[in-house]
Amino acid sequence: MAAGKISYDTLVKEDQVHSRLYYDEAIFQEEMDRIFSHNWVYVGHETEVVEPGEFVGRWIGLQPVILVRDRQRRLHLLLNRCRHRSNTVCQLERGNAAGGFRCAYHGWTYAASGELIGMPYPGGYAPGDFDKAEHGLLEVALEGYQGFLFGHLNPDGRSLLEHIGAASTLLDQVINLAPEGEVMLRAGMLKHKYRANWKMTIRQSCTSRPSISIRAKASTGIRFTDPTAPRAPATLAMAMVRSISPPRTARPAFSFRVSKAMSPRPRKTPMSRVWFGASASNGPQK
């Protein structure tokens, strides 16, 4: 396909998708922009950060963020980038920042609220040349529903409820299943690390055996509002992408090999022409 605008109509069919969606660097970068940078993305649950100073480190696409409670127990979602040289100010997955976040590069220190509270050699700035109030950690838009928290790197006026739409009923179902009508997430998590495109996580979550009985309900109600975006409905998991680690780049995560021992005729179709889906064997090859 020629360089330029990506034609998803040629890559996504009714019953199959092209393998390019899983390894093309241009598609990966567009996903980081259109899906992660311009939508509400799930970053955690309010019960994960209960005490003052308590925080968890998360990712929105390729941007590291910190979900934290300040001394007044207010929630903040901070971009994990020092305002001096853009280094991360926190490298831990969770902890308590009662003493603040300190950049290891040049020692700029921030309160749990994101306010800049200390820096080396403040006398090196002439009076009036530097205002600490203007150099705190950047705050990311944060909204919640039923305790589930979402962040938005580039808020466009669309609320969280407008974004999740009918999927809010699924969150209601989760809460209603709890005997006391609330959910607490403080027991840790099961983590998987693998070298593959980020969409493999979503696909695997939607096809695991325990979820088959509810998958039909979980895959309705959410659509991209960008008129140029793909029209296929997104699953609830897509709306609540929770990146504990940054998404993998679009490098090929695996290769398909069919040896003579496995098939009487070795595959001659290059990876760039492979289709996946119910009728992939009969699908178009270009």
pLDDT in tens, 54-108: 999 999 999 999 999 999 999 999 999 999 999 999 999 999 998 899 999 999 9
Look-up: residue for tokens 């409905």? 233
Q: Where are the domains of the chain?
A: 1-23+267-286, 39-251
Question: What DSSP assignment string belongs to 5-56?
Answer: S--GGGTB-SSEEEGGGGT-HHHHHHHIIIIITTS-EEEEEGGGS-STTEEE
Q: Which tens digit of pLDDT belongs to each residue from 231-285?
A: 333 434 443 444 455 666 544 333 323 233 333 334 344 545 566 554 444 443 3
Look at 32 and 196; give whichever has higher pLDDT: 32
Helical ranges in 114-232 per DSSP H: 160-164, 168-177, 199-207, 212-218
pLDDT mean across residues, the chain: 78
Evaluate whether the domain defined by 39-251 bears CATH number 3.30.56.10. no
Q: How confident is the model at residue 202 (pLDDT cuts 50, 70, 90)?
A: confident
Could you give the CA distance from residue 32 to residue 35 in angstroms, rounded to a whole number?
A: 6
Q: Which of 239, 272, 254 is nearest to 200 (CA)?
A: 254
What's the confidence (pLDDT) of residue 245? Answer: 56
Q: 142 pLDDT exceeds 90?
A: yes
